[in-house]
Amino acid sequence: MNRGWSMKWLCLLLVIGLLAGCGKANEGASPTHSSSPSAQASETPSGDTVAKEEGLTGSLEIAAFVAGDANEQWWVEMIEDFKKANPKLEVKSILSGVIGDEIRTRWVTNNPPDVTLLGGESSTKDIQQLTNDRKFEKLDDWLKTAKSYEDPNKLLVDVFSVENRSYDPDGSVIGLPNATGAYGLFYDAKLARENGWTDLPKNWEEFVAFLDKIQNSGTGIAPINYPGKNALGYLTNYIFYDVAQRNPDAYLNGVNIEPGAWTDSAYQEAFNKMATLRRYELAGSLAATHVEAQIAFLQRKAFFYPCGTWLEGEMSKDVPDDFEMQVIPFPINEKGSKSITQTYAGTDLYIPVDAKNKDNAKEFIRFMYQTKYAKSFAEAGLGNFAMKADLEGASTSSSVISFSKMMMDPNLVSFQTKMGRNPTVYVDLNNVFFESLGKAWAGKITAEQLFTGFEQEARKYEQQEGFQKVEDAFLVRPAS
């Protein structure tokens, strides 16, 4: 399967393993670039304005993971802009596809760079160890007052498009989001226009009616397809989203495998609701791999396809030239309730505890979150940067623009938990759950048998030798 640059960079960056595959990394470090004498006003972390003719002083060292030339060029241009805004500031940078290897010894000597974006295979083990050793600065207090660089009337956190963060063992924020995506329902806007299917559904009632319209259109196009063989979760995730929106406590109890959680009626009701979609599926969906299902979608054999926003990058060389891929929230919500989704993001932008220039590092982070860099990020084929930005008119893919609009929709709830996993926080237990879920989706067991079995498996799992209880919690509580 072919993967585009947005998929390559994001999957290397996200150590949580949501995306698969990687691209060839650029392993060289970039030299320090010369500065222009121009400068502009900026705010210090305390909110004071630095004189326009002065800018920041002292020094700053930036180390960032890059995957390929386009990614590196994005960093180079942004750093050059920062130098021009602060001509008296000495700025050095290390941009590398193996950034973990490049700076590993500097953690040992307590002399790390001032800002680090870690990622890629060379950083995976380092991130976990450095987190456990509390080598990253706690950012909670700073984020309470840090202002947006573009709009001082907004807090920096208000321009983030997602709530994803990295946390230390104490529960403090240490890592900020950069590349991001979400789950949604994909379609071809050209196919929609040609068939008069442009009044897209915004809730479950409208969704079912829309699927009926396609089913009865006589076009031979199936309303929906999905990868039932190896990625059924692309569709069945919305069982859990439905529970989260209608009964947040039931959702969190299930994630944390609290006793009796899985026998809550909310789960059976959500499953039965989603199971009605089986009457609209493309023939063969249940046995299709994600590659087969995605190809069928691109061949316009089905109108809707549930997936994450990595889809267009992943299938970039298979997307027809006239295919206008766009995404909407999956309309699992009931009429009168907001749409709902979950986001994922690389959250490995850190300030080390032992950084020598923390104030300058914070100013650089503020500088990063500007609309022009979100646009250049998208135009470089890197996907969506984690800030609210209108990408209309940007020279990038239609799905990237569509996603940016989706995330700025005030009628969308992007709920988050600290760990972001379902059905539970335990990966190996989830594997058992999904095996049973597949049987229920195929009609081999009932919803009641499914969730009763979940409850029994959860109880057995916590009795295993060496079991350690993990507690997840909402960062953003679902709301209707």
Number of H helices, E strands in the chain: 18, 18
Same structural domain, 229 and 327? yes
Same structural domain, 163 and 227? no
Same structural domain, 44 and 166? yes
Residue 285 is part of which domain span?
182-343
Q: Do the domain assignments include residue 124?
A: yes
Output the six-digit token pair for 241.
Answer: 């989203």
* Strand boundaries in 280-408, DSSP class E: 302-308, 325-328, 339-341, 343-345, 349-350, 384-385
Q: Do the domain assignments include residue 237?
A: yes
- For the stretch 271-322, pLDDT in tens is 999 999 999 999 999 999 999 999 999 999 999 999 998 898 889 899 999 9
Total domains in the fold of the chain? 2
**343, 374, 408 — which closes off a domain?**
343
Same structural domain, 235 and 332? yes
- For the stretch 11-46, pLDDT in tens is 444 433 333 333 333 333 333 333 333 334 444 444
Same structural domain, 288 and 368? no
Same structural domain, 333 and 351? no
Same structural domain, 173 and 28? yes
Q: Do the domain assignments include residue 13?
A: yes
Q: Do the domain assignments include residue 305?
A: yes
Q: Do the domain assignments include residue 272?
A: yes
Same structural domain, 170 and 291? no
Same structural domain, 367 and 304? no
- pLDDT category at 4 given cuts 50, 70, 90 is very low
Q: What is the pLDDT of residue 49?
A: 42
Same structural domain, 172 and 249? no
- CATH number of 266's domain: 3.40.190.10
Q: Do the domain assignments include residue 14?
A: yes
| Residue percentage of the chain with pLDDT more than 70 | 89
Same structural domain, 108 and 195? no
Among 369, 391, 389, 367, residue whose Cα is nearest residue 379: 391
SS3 339: strand
Q: In this model, does residue 266 exceed pLDDT 60? A: yes
**329, 355, 389 — which closes off a domain?**
389
Same structural domain, 98 and 199? no
Q: What is the pLDDT of residue 344?
A: 87
Among 403, 362, 471, residue whose Cα is nearest residue 139: 362
Rg value, the chain, Cα: 23
Among 43, 200, 64, residue whose Cα is nearest residue 119: 64
Task: Give the residue ranges of DSSP H helices in 196-259.
Answer: 204-215, 233-246, 248-255
Q: What is the pLDDT of residue 421?
A: 83
Q: Do the domain assignments include residue 476?
A: no
**389, 418, 450 — which closes off a domain?**
389
Q: Output the pTM of the full model.
A: 0.83
Q: Do the domain assignments include residue 473?
A: no
